[in-house]
Amino acid sequence: MGEPPFRRGAKSPPPRRKKARSMATLCRPAVSVPEHVITMEETLELARSRHPDHPQLPLALRLIENTGVRTRHIVQPIEETLKHPGFEERNNLYEAEAKARVPAVVQRALDDAELLTGDIDVIIYVSCTGFMMPSLTAWLINTMDFGTDTRQIPIAQLGCAAGGAAINRAHDFCTAYPDANALIVACEFCSLCYQPTDLGVGSLLSNGLFGDGIAAAVVRGKGGTGIKLERNGSYLIPKTEEWIAYDVRATGFHFLLDKRVPTTMEPLAPALQDLAKQHGWDASDLDFYIVHAGGPRILDDLSKFLHVPPEAFRFSRSTLTEYGNIASAVVLDALRRLFEAGGAEHTARGLLAGFGPGITAEMALGRWHISENGKQ
């Protein structure tokens, strides 16, 4: 893939704003998924043909069907994905694909936020499906002409919760530095973590659930249309750190998924309610919800325990149906869908949340804000 044309240059003029201090705004995300597609039907047929004698195959097939994932996008054709050339080659492919695909997504996010690379003060990069040191942030700074004083915050071990964590760390940064702008990048190639020797039901389910995707979004310290972030928080369910985990071996990352994970919304819903209560809001009575779609059971239970209608999570369900679980990129893709649906009313109240290893919830509250020029 060729490199996109970057708009380089000095900092853009600051937007005209009222004198009152404003809170950071999470702007419209840009999202990209790879060109190779695998359908639910193809996934089920692969499971049948590759594991015909598996004693729990009927259960695995039923669980995959129940995810509601109709299509997933992957960085390689399925024939290549099913091979395992070794961790080194896979990680090299992760780096090559990230460098080929991330810059164009970053550029779209910057354009949507009406900023240049020189306007960005910190890059928060989240990914749990490959490893690089230095982080891709260093390569982006050099390749796209970000300032050499741009801070770098790579987050590698929060899994699916990292999308919410990135939003929250960007919010924290812009609270500390009110004139600053943060760039969030999520890059997940879950297909590169496929392990053909992992035959547990949880592994077979994961093979039909996770997809690949890249997302980027800007948090502007001042100006912009999107979610004006007001409060964030984190909550960890005690003694659940082994429920979602990687077993790191010579063959790479082996994903471990405990069957109790779908039950985690019962203890996490009160954490969401507590955060809203601290802010004087009722988590059951907000205008929009952008949450990580780990699976349909997660969304169904959150609807039940938060006392909100299932329709409240329609954007998260759409991400799950069309892309599968794209890990840290889910929250940003669900937010993109809200933007594409026309956004929300000015000052509408909403909640964002990502759930992942720990078991951890990264949560944020904010109001929809339409900039003075009215641009969505």
pLDDT tens, position by position, 145-201: 999 999 999 999 999 999 999 999 999 999 999 999 999 999 999 999 999 888 888
The residue length of the chain stands at 376
Mean pLDDT of all residues in the chain? 91
Q: Above 70 in pLDDT, residue 268?
A: yes
Lowest mean pLDDT among 32-36, 208-212, 226-230: 208-212
Q: What SS3 class is residue 188? A: strand
Average pLDDT over residues 265-282: 95
Answer for the pair 295, 259: CB distance below 8 angstroms, yes or no: no
Instruction: Single out the residue in 203, 220, 237 at which a domain terminates.
Output: 220
Q: Is residue 334 part of a domain?
A: yes
How many structural domains does the chain have? 2
Would you state the pLDDT for residue 1?
45
Examine the domain organization and report whether 321 and 212 are in the same domain: no
Q: Above 70 in pLDDT, residue 15?
A: no
Would you state the pLDDT for residue 22?
53
Per the model's pLDDT, the better-predicted residue between 65 and 136 turns out to be: 136
Catalytic residue (one of 27, 160, 187, 193): 160
Lowest mean pLDDT among 16-20, 51-55, 199-203, 251-255: 16-20
Examine the domain organization and report whether 271 and 127 are in the same domain: no
Enclosing domain of residue 151: 25-220
Examine the domain organization and report whether 146 and 230 are in the same domain: no
Examine the domain organization and report whether 255 and 107 are in the same domain: no
Q: Is residue 8 part of a domain?
A: no
Average pLDDT over residues 312-317: 96
Answer for the pair 366, 348: CB distance below 8 angstroms, yes or no: no
Q: How many CA atoms lie within 13 A of 38 on its CB side?
A: 24
Would you state the pLDDT for residue 277?
97
Q: Above 90 in pLDDT, residue 3?
A: no
Q: Is residue 275 part of a domain?
A: yes
Instruction: Answer yes or no: 160 catalytic.
Output: yes
Residue 318's CATH number: 3.40.47.10
Would you state the pLDDT for residue 202?
82
Examine the domain organization and report whether 82 and 210 are in the same domain: yes
Would you state the pLDDT for residue 20?
40
* pTM for the whole structure: 0.90
Residue 126 tokens, joined: 């989240």
Answer for the pair 186, 88: CB distance below 8 angstroms, yes or no: no
